[in-house]
Amino acid sequence: MTLATLADVLQPALKNGYAVAGLVTLGWEDMRAYVRAAEAEGVPVILQAGPGCRAHTPLPVLGAMFRNLAEAASVPVVAHLDHGYDAGDCREAIDCGFASVMYDGSRKPLAQNIDETAAIAEAAHAAGVSCEGEIGFVGYSGGEQSKGTDPDEAARFAKETGIDAMAISVGNVHLQTDAGGGLDEERIRAIEAKTDVPLVIHGGSGVPTDQRARLARGSHICKFNIGTELRQQFGSALRAAVARDPNRFDRVEIMKEIEPPLTDAARTVLRGLKPG
């Protein structure tokens, strides 16, 4: 299978009533586990390199890792830059073989966010790459507070930027370690009424699984970003593997025991977003 763009996987999802998981990666073992999970479920998957991942692995290395996995996979795999905060990040990712970039101008005034996102989208499309943008602001658990997406601003943002996917703030929060109160479905419907661009939920780990499944099959939300709940599974599996033999020191042997439970956890996430 070849590398897929975000548009390649989200347009069918929008048409056919399901969502695709954007799984936040930090290293080779979780990337490989997520692709194995997608193959087992027979669904596409979006591998995401966010700021935390990029802080310890250079973009050219990440691009090569993602492409290696995509080219050997039996399902579509999207190599996606998550939260690119400046044009340099996005352009470097495009040059390094990423098939999709997210430009995050959500902290900036609307007009500036539109202008800068539109420029990135134009450059991405010229290279055959997809572009995601964010309107409103998705906050962080214990940190910056969210600013909900205004439906009229969302309509303007989607139209004037030409993006392939639009991240929205509708009660979702990054880094939430347990399910919160759920998403604001009234606001989602108001946004849907004004634009037909595929919608994205960042902070998907904090969304109750039943609501994730329902919205995946009955709304314009075509992408749920999932990171925290899978990182929690990784941590639990790592602690258990080390505790089984405190004298063991070989990283490869320890990691072999982590991938199966992480793959199973990812399969559960992916299964919940499949068509009904």
Rg (CA), the chain: 18
Whole-number pLDDT of residue 2? 80
Walk along the chain (276 residues) in steps of 10 and give the mean pLDDT of each run. Answer: 93 97 96 98 97 94 97 97 95 97 96 98 98 93 84 98 97 79 92 97 92 96 96 94 91 92 97 91
Active site residues: 82
* Helix 110-126 × helix 151-161 angle, to 10°: 30
Whole-number pLDDT of residue 1? 66
How many Å separate Cα 2 from the centre of its chain? 19
Compute how many other C-beta atoms are within 10 angstroms of the C-beta atom of residue 202: 29
Amino acid of residue 253: E
Q: What is the CATH topology of the domain spanning 3-271? A: TIM Barrel (3.20.20)
| Structure token pair of residue 77 | 């795999």
Give the DSSP letter string of 245-272.
-TT---HHHHHHHHHHHHHHHHHHHHHT
